[in-house]
Structure 1
Amino acid sequence: MARIEIENADMAALGAANNAGILFEMGMMYATGRDCEVDMVAAHKWFNIAAIKGCSRAALLRSEIAETMSKPQLASALRAAREWMTRH
């Protein structure tokens, strides 16, 4: 069975703009390193977007991750989420 690889996470989430569950899964992917390197900044970004779209579990995990991040990391994640939301 062929597997389609998506190189750009933003492209993977384009169809998910109104689906909090898919956005939440993007956060889980980066938080756990599923098919990628663990990246807590990216995880926070996707959890933040999912929370904005109404996913309460994403809001909880976003808060937990934020407690472990430095201020520059948190600022970067918030900026990335804001940029994504502006574009989509």
Structure 2
Amino acid sequence: MARFEILEAGLGTMGTTAQADILLELGMMYAVGRDCEIDVVSAHKWFNIAAIKGSARAAELRAELSATMSKAEIAHALRDAREWMTEH
């Protein structure tokens, strides 16, 4: 997953809107299985981070996805998002 490591490394230098758009796209990638397996936990994580960065669409998608997830999956996604936000 080197492409994501490179992407994540450059996020600090972009504007907030650009960051939110890219993070929303990461969520979409995992939600629909574009170039990867569908992973609702990762999708929720990226939608959550994009929403924190200001994406209203990501907040909507996160809410829709949450309705299909177990409490354990949501808790895992929230932990992953919090960890990512702490590191970046």
State the number of aligned residues.
Answer: 82
Question: Structure 1 residues 9, 61: closer, same or farther in 2, change over 3 A?
Answer: farther
Q: Spell out the pairing of 1:44-55 with structure 2 (5 A cutoff).
A: 44-55=44-55
CA–CA separation in structure 2 for the residues paired with 1:59 and 1:24: 9
Moved over 4 A (4+): none
Question: Structure 1 residues 68, 39: closer, same or farther in 2, change over 3 A?
Answer: same
Return the offset for 1:13: 2.9
- What is the aligned partner in structure 2 of residue 14 from structure 1? 9
Q: RMSD over aligned Cα, in angstroms?
A: 1.5
Percent identity of the aligned residues? 61
Greater helix proportion: 2
What's the TM-score once normalised by structure 2's chain length? Answer: 0.86
| Partners of 1:16 and 1:22 within 8 A in 2 | no
Question: Structure 1 residues 83, 47: closer, same or farther in 2, change over 3 A?
Answer: same
* Structure 1 unaligned residues grouped into runs of 5+: 1-6
